[in-house]
Amino acid sequence: MADNLTKRADDYAQWYNDLVLKADLAEHSDVRGCMVIKPHGYGVWEKMRAALDGMFKETGHVNAYFPLFIPKSYLAKEASHVEGFAKECAVVTHYRLKSDPEHGVVVDPTAKLEEELIIRPTSETIIWNTYRGWVKSYRDLPLLINQWANVVRWEMRTRLFLRTAEFLWQEGHTAHATEKEAVEETERMLDVYARFAEEWLAIPVIRGVKTASERFAGAVETYCIEAMMQDGKALQAGTSHFLGQNFAKAFDVLFTNKENKQEHVWATSWGVSTRLVGALIMTHSDDNGLVLPPKLAPVQVAVVPIAKNAEQLEAIRAYITPTLTALRARGVTVKFDDDDTKKPGWKFAEYEFKGYPVRIAIGPRDMENGTVEVARRDTLEKQVMAVTDIDGKIEHLLSAIQENLFQKALALRERYTRAVDTYEEFKVAIEEGGFILAHWDGTAGTEEKVKNETKATIRCIPLEGDRTPGRCMVTGAPSERRVIFARAY
């Protein structure tokens, strides 16, 4: 299968598209801009969802569900919010079809909705309209709500997982009694996303704050985590927004505080989406196919018996069953592939291409020697191991693979992160890709000039790192610290 995969060095974008399709992660649907997530790809998303859901609940959040449809008047209540999403909204105008002899099925013009409905691009408006009835007193706060849902943003240029008209995500929406509590929540959830990216996806990320022009529509401040892909482009891997009292004021969400005075609540929202599957692919995979971090692989260990007949197959099954049981007891997901319609060599290639972290092969000679052959996907190394106590060795190997993938991605990011002091240096560096650390004068005009002339954007103002002041690389005006520029997905 890897023979038909475009090489990264030849065409990185085509390599990505080929890999998503050939590794059975997703495919294009007949609905423009939408995708079908296939079982292997959805299995990765399920692992992500389970891990994140656990982290949300550990921090006190609970799940709820809100409508897919939003009355158009709701979206109009927060001016900057509607302006930010207006061009991406899909609108429902009618509620019935009818048969037409000449044109087949057509919209019934008599069934026009009294108020048009927006298919949610995000749920702040419908949720804050709902919260108005839930919040009356400080005793009702904080509200720590998350929902797992789909959203629709009518994108003109789409790419599987990275940007589609419909995608899956989670969106947290919380309400607080004070500004301090809301800011703390925003930062807490950014930390959750960063830990998830690094500990589960094995993707190193930079925590930062977006510039005003890159801020979420309706937010006071947007925090983000930024990751670097193998081609040197940035990918926004998660955002957490401090909304201030903007939505509370727009939807009149008031509460009586401890001093028996009424005030508007303070708000946050935060989310990540199936875009993370794309990030996973582009960070770790190679010219041999998909590479999955063990923590997010739907199946962590594939076991391939090499048998000439049914009798040998049953002997191998009996030989390895205690190991399979022991691995499952350790929480390791295992597949024993006894499909006799496919040859072992085909299976080896299939599991390698689809990114299974560990592959175990067992033949008659292995049974004689009390061994198995173990192959790890990240390095393609193979070794023969004694079957005795192998469950512990495999568990350790999975941890080693997870750590190796993170360190490899971190090394690449460090190699392609550099500082420049002049605009001329910047123009050369940005063509080479990666994260460019440069001083910026803090103005939207300079930011827009760089974007128009180089296609690079300010990915974030880092929360950590060098805070040495300097001079803007473009204008020479004073700059408080370096920011991160990059071309991005």
* Strand 435-439 relative to strand 417-419, pairing: parallel
- Does residue 412 register a pLDDT over 90? yes
CB atoms within 10 A of CB 382: 11
Give the per-residue pLDDT at 481: 97
Determine which helix (DSSP H) or strand (DSSP E) holds 439, and give its type and residue range. Answer: strand 435-439
Whole-angstrom Cα Rg for the chain:
26
pLDDT tens string 322-360: 999 999 999 999 999 999 999 999 999 999 999 999 999
Amino acid at 416: Y
Instruction: Please answer whether residues 367 and 316 qualify as being in contact, where contact means their C-beta atoms are separated by less than 8 angstroms.
Output: yes
C-alpha–C-alpha distance, residues 400 and 408, integer Å: 12
Q: How would you label 307-323 residue by residue, b for 16+ Cβ within 10 Å and e otherwise? A: beeeeeeebbbebbeeb
pTM for the whole thing? 0.96
C-alpha–C-alpha distance, residues 97 and 216, integer Å: 37
Looking at CATH, the fold of the domain delimited by 2-66+133-284 is given as BirA Bifunctional Protein; domain 2 (3.30.930)
Among 79, 76, 147, 149, residue whose Cα is nearest residue 116: 76
The DSSP code for 163 is B
Confidence of residue 138 (pLDDT cuts 50, 70, 90): very high
C-alpha–C-alpha distance, residues 170 and 75, integer Å: 20
Q: How would you label 384-402 residue by residue, b for 16+ Cβ within 10 Å and e otherwise? A: ebebeebbeebbebbeebb
C-alpha–C-alpha distance, residues 334 and 325, integer Å: 9
Instruction: Please answer whether residues 75 and 89 qualify as being in contact, where contact means their C-beta atoms are separated by less than 8 angstroms.
Output: yes
Half-sphere exposure of 421 (CA within 13 A, CB side): 4
- Does residue 31 register a pLDDT over 90? yes
**What percent of the chain is modeled with pLDDT above 90?**
94
Q: Which two tokens stand for residue 151?
A: 């959203």
pLDDT tens string 52-67: 999 999 999 999 999 9
Q: Which two tokens stand for residue 389?
A: 């106590």
* Strand 482-486 relative to strand 254-256, pairing: unpaired
- Does residue 196 register a pLDDT over 90? yes
Confidence of residue 157 (pLDDT cuts 50, 70, 90): confident
The full 3-state SS of 460-487, as one line of letters, equals EEECCCCCCCEECCCCCCEECCEEEEEC
Looking at CATH, the fold of the domain delimited by 299-399 is given as Rossmann fold (3.40.50)
- Does residue 1 register a pLDDT over 80? no
Q: Which two tokens stand for residue 264?
A: 């508007």
Give the per-residue pLDDT at 155: 85
Residue the block writes with tokens 């292997």: 40
C-alpha–C-alpha distance, residues 38 and 24, integer Å: 6
Q: What is the mean pLDDT of the chain?
A: 97
Which residue spans within 25-138 are E strands per DSSP?
26-28, 35-37, 62-63, 69-71, 90-94, 97-100, 104-107, 112-119
Which residues lie below 8 Å from residue 454, measured CB to CB, with a gap of 6+? 426, 427, 430, 487
**What percent of the chain is modeled with pLDDT above 70?**
100
What residues does each domain of the chain span?
Answer: 2-66+133-284, 299-399, 417-486
C-alpha–C-alpha distance, residues 457 and 484, integer Å: 8
pLDDT tens string 242-267: 999 999 999 999 999 999 999 999 99
Half-sphere exposure of 51 (CA within 13 A, CB side): 22
For domain 417-486, give the CATH superfamily: C-terminal domain of ProRS (3.30.110.30)
Amino acid at 276: L
pLDDT tens string 263-312: 999 999 999 999 999 999 999 999 999 999 999 999 999 999 999 999 99
